[in-house]
Structure 1
Amino acid sequence: MEQFPQRQLFGGATSTIFPLRFEDVSRIREVPDHQEVFVDPARDESLIIELLEMKNELADNGSATWFMQDLATEQGAEDNIVTEQSGVFEAQGLGYRNMPSVITTATAQIAISKGRQGRDAQNLVKVYLANLRLKGVGTDVLITAYEPFFIHPSSESARSVGAGLTVPAAESGRTPMADVFKQVVAAFRVNDWNLFGAAAL
């Protein structure tokens, strides 16, 4: 079974746990300051943690679904299907100045193209999304995990992963993405609230 070591994010201001097979993309290309991006090139799986100004107009119980729909629209994937949405739960250990933080999650199957490839090279991907709402610092933390389950033969991914249905993670000794995602979300911690300009709030 894979180890889940502590991984430092945003210069150590936040942290969580996930397997070492997920490599830091910032070592290869530039990543926006508000994002941390990790990929497992052997499986074309990826994890993205991003910090966004809180959308106060969104109700907590619909926020994860809203962000999922937004992601699907951005990808030009109109046929996204939200297969599951959680209720709203308090995020333990993430409250700030007596203001609780809450979490909601959603999952969907989306057709996504790699890079600038068109719709004729779309892969079918299961997407897991969590919205951690840090109300004390006015920040929406998005944790998004991508797990391709069908690679189009014309996709760039076919060269490294192979075309067709992907091999289940457990068959290759890796932790399934659903479990990786749960661990990333459950173990997410803020180590320095100054990351959010909290000292000024």
Structure 2
Amino acid sequence: MRIELLCVVALWEWLCRREEEDFEDSLQLRFILFSLAFQLNRLAGRNMSREFCPARPLFGGAISSHFPQRFEDVSNIRQVPDHQEVFVDPSRDESLIIELLDFKSEVGDDGSASWFLHDLAREQDAEGFKLIEQSEVIEAPGLTFRNIPAVVTTATGEMAISKGRQGREAQNLVRVYVANLRLKGVETDALVTAYEPILINPLSESAEAVGSGLAVPASQSGNMPMCDVIKQSLSTFKVNDWSLFGSPAC
């Protein structure tokens, strides 16, 4: 297993160092390496860890959700838009974002999470976007308001994106998980988005913090994988004060 991992890393770093190459061919090769790397990651990180996941107050405590304590509140470092809560684990370059958006009535419940995932890829000027899976519509009885049911859909995708203002030459390959909670009683689309790096580009600013090449599997590092982080956050998502949405609680 160690030899296979080293081969993937070596190929990735060689690709990033090439000065003259056809961009489309390069992108295809990157995603071939990505697929191989992801499978190796799964094999290398079979033992799932158990992390302490306390209740985290969101939006002034009006909402709460449980996820690992290692995720730091970005608002303690910089300003975050009022409709977002952003948490990061800088040691792994992983992030979890919870945001509240106006309800997209033109988007059907079936596949709503994949719609938001595609929209996210467009906003971030992603390359090589690929939808891996999406769920069916699931009712969320705990989020019903005034007898109007809420529903949830999820989607997972892969894409190459850059950090901050960096260009495409510094793109990292990441896996992105999106959960869309449709709070119809208050006309709100709540999104929970988790970013998991798979291959870090040597030119990316992320390489300074976590190193370039193949990301170390979360469970191998004693951490909960991001696919389980978002499941934990989603399953414990709770609205404590519905007046957050401008509606008096019933």
TM-score (norm 2): 0.79
Q: Which digits, 9 at most, give the CA deviation of each residue in 1:83-102, with x for residues without a partner?
A: 00000000130000000000
Partner of 1:4: 53
Q: What do you get for the CA RMSD once the two structures are aligned?
A: 1.2
Partner of 2:243: 194
Task: Report the CA distance between 1:71 and its aligned residue.
Answer: 0.3
Matched, 1:135 2:198: no
Residue in structure 1 matching 2:225, options 162, 173, 176: 176
The 5-angstrom pairing of residues 19-168 of structure 1 reads 19-168=68-217
Letter in 2 for 1:12: G
Partner of 1:16: 65
**Structure 1 residues 53 and 161 mapped into 2: Cα distance closer, same or farther (>3 Å)?**
same
Aligned-partner Cα distance in 2 for 1:5–1:96: 25
Q: How many residues align?
A: 201
Task: Report the CA distance between 1:78 and its aligned residue.
Answer: 4.1
Q: Which digits, 9 at most, give the CA deviation of each residue in 1:118-162, with x for residues without a partner?
A: 000000010000000000000000000000010000000001111
* Partner secondary structure for residue 178 of structure 1: helix
Letter in 2 for 1:89: I
Task: Report the CA distance between 1:79 and its aligned residue.
Answer: 1.8
* Partner secondary structure for residue 147 of structure 1: strand
- Percent identity, please: 66
Aligned-partner Cα distance in 2 for 1:79–1:171: 28
* Structure number with bigger Rg: 2
* Partner secondary structure for residue 197 of structure 2: strand
Letter in 1 for 2:137: V
* Partner secondary structure for residue 143 of structure 2: coil
* Partner secondary structure for residue 142 of structure 1: strand
Q: Which runs of 4+ in 1 moved over 3 A?
A: none
Letter in 1 for 2:180: N
Gapped regions of structure 1 (runs ≥ 5): none
Q: Which digits, 9 at most, give the CA deviation of each residue in 1:173-192, with x for residues without a partner?
A: 10111101100011100000
* Partner secondary structure for residue 202 of structure 2: coil
Letter in 2 for 1:102: V
Gapped regions of structure 2 (runs ≥ 5): 1-49
Letter in 2 for 1:30: Q
Task: Report the CA distance between 1:62 and its aligned residue.
Answer: 2.0
Aligned-partner Cα distance in 1 for 2:127–2:107: 21
Is residue 241–residue 249 contact of structure 2 (8 Å, CA) maintained in 1?
no
Aligned-partner Cα distance in 2 for 1:6–1:160: 28
Task: Report the CA distance between 1:200 and its aligned residue.
Answer: 9.2
* Partner secondary structure for residue 93 of structure 1: helix
